[in-house]
Structure 1
Amino acid sequence: MEVTWPGGADGGPRRGLVHLLPVRRSIGAPSQLAYFAVHAKAGTPISEIVRVMGLRWSIEDCFETAKSDCGLDHYEVRTWDAWMRHITLSMAVLAFLTTTATRTDDTTTPALAAPEPDQSGHPEKGHPADALRS
């Protein structure tokens, strides 16, 4: 739905832009509605607006992780410079931890399985684990 709210010199959006109010209904609880304030170029397809609205959840999740794991919200500063240093350091730590976790997940390999003994009770010859046992 196109709406107007105070903003700009003339009380509305600038030329070529629109204010929209998309409403999302929950599938699990149809009585719950979520409203979004959108400021977009006129003619922006609704699919693009919905796609950008969906990005909000991943961004919020990222900030929650930064708050809980990296201390993003644990600052007691009195100047803008100190606040900026704290936020920058917290976000750098989050980037490092995310990169490290991603690389660790990609490089892990399953452990070598123990060789199956043949009928004589001896491990199969030529198995890589044989070198470790001798």
Structure 2
Amino acid sequence: MSETSARTHLTIDQMLNNARARLHRLDARETAAAVADGALLVDIRPQWQRATEGAIPGALLIERNHLEWRLDPTSGASIPEATDHDVTVVVVCSEGYTSSLAAASLQDLGLHRATDLIGGFHAWRAARLPVAPGS
């Protein structure tokens, strides 16, 4: 038996469930309140998706492939808002799947207050919270 076949692998559903078990996920109204209290709202959707669906005014735009580098306060590529590991970060994607995995990854970096928006941008829009039209 090869070393690879002897290892146990997670399915994406197991991986997602593990990530979400660590998060205190927020609904759209809770997210808006957290942002009003100073949390960073980080939209990780690619530009084409924001152009199609719309955007959340005031959200930081950091596409998924740059997220950890931009929010790790010890990274030479961090954004000014990434001041320390106590910053509250709420990650938003389109429907709330990728954002859960991304928030768990940020927790792995020590950003212990990282979480995500349940239902993603679609839930934000459905809650009739402010949305800027896409281009």
* TM-score (ref. length: structure 1): 0.21
The structure with the larger Rg is: 1
